[in-house]
Structure 1
Amino acid sequence: MDRISVIRNVEEALAAFEAGECDLAELERRVRAILRAYATEFDGDLEAYRASGDDEIDGLVVLAPSRRAARERVRGLVDGAERAADLRFEVERVE
Structure 2
Amino acid sequence: MDRISALRNVEEALADFEDGDASLGDVEDRVLGVLRTYATEFDEAGVTAYRATGDPVVEGTVVVAPDAETARERVAARVDGRVPEFEVAEVV
TM-score computed with the length of structure 2 as normaliser: 0.91
Contact 1:40 1:47 in 2 (8 A): no
Could you list the per-position Cα deviations for residues 53-76 of structure 1 after superposition, in whole angstroms to 9, with x for gaps in the alignment?
A: 111101111111111111111011
Matched, 1:54 2:51: no
Runs of 4 or more consecutive aligned structure 1 residues displaced over 4 Å after TM superposition? none
1:93 matched residue in structure 2:
90
Contact 1:57 1:74 in 2 (8 A): yes
Matches of 1:11 and 1:59, distance apart in 2 = 25
Matches of 1:52 and 1:43, distance apart in 2 = 22
Matches of 1:32 and 1:7, distance apart in 2 = 12
Q: Secondary structure at the match of 1:63?
A: strand
Corresponding letter in the other structure for 2:85: R
Percent identity of equivalent pairs:
57
Shift of 1:43: 2.4
Q: CA RMSD in A?
A: 1.1
1:5 matched residue in structure 2:
5
Q: Which runs of 5+ in 2 are unaligned?
A: none
Structure with greater helix percent: 1
TM-score computed with the length of structure 1 as normaliser: 0.89
